[in-house]
Amino acid sequence: MLTQDNDQIQQRHRHLDEIIQLGHAAYPHRFDRTHTISSIVMQYQSYHGKREDEGEAARVNEELKGAGNGKIRLAGRIMQMRLMGKAAFAHLSDGGARLQIYVRKNDVGEAAWELYNKLDLGDWIGVEGFLFVTKTGEVSLHIHELQFLAKGLLPMPDKYHGVADKELRYRQRYVDLIASGAVQERAEGELTAREVFVKRAQIVRAIRDFFDERGYIEVETPMLTPLATGAAARPFVTHHNALDIPLYARIAPELYLKRLIVGGFERVYELNRNFRNEGLSIRHNPEFTMLEFYQAYADFNDLMDLTEELITGLVDEVCGSRQIPYQEHTLDFSNWQRLTMREAVLKYWPDHLQDKKPSLDDLMNRAALEAAAAALELGFDPKLNDGYLLGEIFAHVAEPHLINPTFITEFPTELSPLSKQNANDPRFVDRFELFIAQMEIANAFSELNDPAEQKRRFEEQMRQREGGDDEAMVMDEDYIRALSYGMPPTAGEGIGIDRLVMLLTNQRSIRDVILFPHMRPEAK
RNA sequence: GGGCCGUUAGCUCAGUCGGUAGAGCAACUGGCUUUUAACCAGUGGGUCGGUGGUUCGAGUCCACCACGGCUCACCA
């Protein structure tokens, strides 16, 4: 780890002491910049490499010298230093871009030169100077003023390779972010940690714009709740001292948002964290970001159209192409599929078991479902009801094939305690899940707004709970009361934002799209 | 929770068959006023994740533990 006391850390403390002795503040309060490094790099990109002959060099440098009246003031962290006797080059970073500075003893003066020699990689400095292009063609700042801004007391990661240790990258994300701009070779199109999180911010911004433009209002509902319900999951429990009651970190905002529809908000969305007390994996973090939105007078078919529009728009905006790489796949966002769960089972039924392939009707028949599970050599709990069994068969047969965006519809009622039943066939609900790259990205349905039926569904969930399923939903009496005041026909949807960001940034692990993923406590 | 892999200098990594712990970067000393993974010469830096065991001798073999990665199961 980077925090052990060693010769390098002692040396940096000595340098800081010496800087103070030279009369500089150890931690000065501010620095006036005229530009950011990123803006200079962007603006003068085209000058890069312009130095084929001396004549052109002189002309280019004469032009650059006037930029910003020759008094461009920049600040950043020192990423590389190359000392050459009485002159030096260094690269400064503002986190996003790097610019080379050129320091010459004659130009900065004795005092600043002395300061420069007490600087270490990772220190923050402010500089003033004029732009020029070096012999080797790099746009650089020839400085005549140097100000110390803050010390890096711990040694920087390898300037070329950066940080490879994933544990260190997740636990000390700040180090990952510092080093992710390192020169290290990356595969074509591979993003740095910083770029991933910048894209994540763009995606979240674009989602909010999308819903704001369509007349939704963004709301915030409780994160600490007396009941953990609205999803099938185990909650985190905490305790409220003043009230002396248990509180649960929410597992979903769903029931609160629908109360708002009852209250007369026709379109609401919430984009925030849910908490589920479950294991960690490449696709699961105990807290994750969920978008939920509800729209009165709409049904789940409307939301399929809306979802397609939302995600296609995001892909266009963030990726610039509808065919995007994701790990070993190419995802085609111009090719959306809609299948019922049973159709998907038939479509992806394994070739070598064609003789045992069930029919569409079979998949609603207990004996045939069990035969199908047996043919697939699927172990299953005989207590599972028909709906669960179909869900298991679907997950096994079809899910691995769902690479391009696919809406799966016609979910068994037993699997969907908050969804409205299909008008023609009450064994199924009007619900879909969206799968992309084998991941479940979205879940939506026409909302059950019959309070009596909702009460029956909760009671069924409670029976399953008593039967040992500690993820079955908890009864929410106040929600029944709210529905009893009348909720208009409504459709609602949840979209897992972390997973969507994974897709759009080609990240394999959810930990790579969460700044501070959950980790076991560090070993002491 | 199960299986597989990993943990060596501040960072990135070698370390053969069990026989005195290695490189590059970073640091230190000296040189160098357009370098760029700067360069040249020299120097220091290690509880080899931890604890036991086998052995004359363990970074290396064995057991257990910790942390991480991948994977299976569960889940969004």
Helix (H), strand (E) at residue A459: helix A451-466
Return the amino acid letter for A479: Y
Closest to A271 in 3D by CA, of A295, A298, A293, A304: A293
Average pLDDT over chain A, rounded to whole? Answer: 92
Mean pLDDT for the stretch of residues A352-361: 89
Under 8 Å between Cβ of A98 and A89: no
A279 Cβ contacts chain B strand, under 7 Å = yes
Cβ-contact A429, A422 below 8 angstroms:
yes
For the cut 80, the answer to whether the pLDDT of residue A154 exceeds it is: yes
Give CB contacts under 8 A, 24+ apart, made by A244-249.
Answer: A248/A224, A249/A223, A249/A224, A249/A225, A249/A275
Is A130:A70 a contact under the CB 8 Å cutoff? Answer: yes
pLDDT value for A3: 47
The Å distance, CA of A520 to C1' of B38, is 42
CB atoms within 10 A of CB A221: 17
Is any atom of nucleic acid chain B found less than 7 Å from the CB of residue A58?
A: no
Question: How far apart, in whole angstroms, are the C-alpha atoms of residue A222 and residue A256?
Answer: 8
Distance (Å) from CA A104 to C1' B34? 10
Which string of b and e fits A272-300 if b means at least 16 CB within 10 Å? bebbbeeeeeebebbbbbbbbbbbbebbb
Rg (CA), chain A: 30
Q: Which two tokens stand for residue A34?
A: 């005229």
Q: How many CB atoms lie within 10 A of CB A420?
A: 23
A276 touches strand B (CB under 7 A): yes
Pairing of strands A329-332, A337-340: unpaired
CA end-to-end span of chain A: 11
Q: Return the SS3 of A88.
A: strand
Per-residue confidence at A425, pLDDT binned at 50, 70, 90? very high
Q: In terms of Cα–Cα distance, which of A492, A491, A493 is closest to A299?
A: A491
DSSP string, A263-320: TT-SEEEEEEEEE-----BTTB-SEEEEEEEEEET--HHHHHHHHHHHHHHHHHHHHS
Q: Report CA(A85)–C1'(B39) in Å, whole number.
A: 12
pLDDT tens-digit map of A177-223: 998 766 666 666 788 999 999 999 999 999 999 999 999 999 999 99
Q: Which of A154-163, A371-380, A402-411 has the lowest mean pLDDT?
A: A371-380
Question: With contact defined as beta carbons under 8 Å apart, do A308 and A334 qualify?
Answer: no
Encode pLDDT of A91-146 as tens digits.
999 999 999 999 999 999 999 999 999 999 999 999 999 999 999 999 999 999 99
Cβ of residue A200 lies below 7 Å from strand B: no
A 76-115, residues with C-beta < 7 Å of strand B: 80-87, 89, 91, 100, 102, 104-106
On the question of pLDDT at A384 being above 80, the answer is no
Q: Which of residues 429-468 of A touch strand B (CB under 7 A)?
A: 433, 439-440, 443
Q: What is the distance between the alpha carbons of residues A219 and A402, in angstroms, rounded to a whole number?
A: 33
Q: Are A445 and A491 in contact (CB under 8 A)?
A: yes
* Amino acid identity at A273: R
Q: What is the pLDDT of residue A456?
A: 95
Q: Give, as ranges, the nucleotides of chain B with any atom within 7 Å of a protein CB.
A: 1, 9-13, 24-28, 31-39, 44-45, 66-76
Q: Which residue type does A513 have?
A: V
Q: Provide the whole-model pTM.
A: 0.93
A367 is near strand B: CB distance < 7 Å: no
A11 touches strand B (CB under 7 A): yes
Q: What are phi and psi of A11, to 5 degrees?
A: -60, -40
Query: Torsions phi, psi of A44, nearest 5?
Result: -110, 15
pLDDT at residue A150 is higher than 90: yes
How far apart CA A408 and CA A430 sit, in angstroms, is 11
pLDDT at A465: 86
From residues 306-365 of A, which are strand B contacts by CB within 7 A? none
Q: Report if CB A56 to strand B is under 7 Å.
A: no
Is strand B in 7 Å reach of the CB of A249?
A: no
Residue A2: the pLDDT is 42
> What integer is the mean pLDDT of A432-455?
95
A53: exposed, middle or buried (Cβ count in 10 Å: 0-12, 13-18, 19+): exposed
Cα separation of A133 and A156, whole Å? 28
Contact A81, A115 (CB under 8 A): no
C-alpha span between A449 and A359 (Å, rounded): 33
Q: Give the pLDDT confidence score for residue A351 in this predicted structure.
A: 86
pLDDT band at A1 (very low <50, low <70, confident <90, very high): very low
Q: Is the confidence at residue A319, as pLDDT, over 90?
A: yes
Nearest nucleotide (C1') to alpha carbon of A275: B76
For strand B, is any atom closer than 7 Å to the CB of A18?
no
In whole angstroms, B25 C1' to A280 CA is 35
Cα–Cα dist A494/A357, whole Å:
33
C1' nearest to CA of A435: which nucleotide?
B76
**Would you say the C-alpha torsion A156, A162, A164, A167 has a positive or negative sign?**
positive
Q: What ipTM goes with this model?
A: 0.91
Longest dimension (CA), chain A: 91
Determine the protein residue whose CA lies at the shortest distance from the C1' of B7.
A165
At A471 the pLDDT is 83
* Nearest Cα residue to A120 out of A164, A146, A150, A141: A150
The pair of structure tokens assigned to A524 is 């002491």
* Structure tokens, A302: 């409307």
User: Letter for the amino acid at A390?
Assistant: L
DSSP A423: S
CA of A60, C1' of B12: distance in angstroms: 39
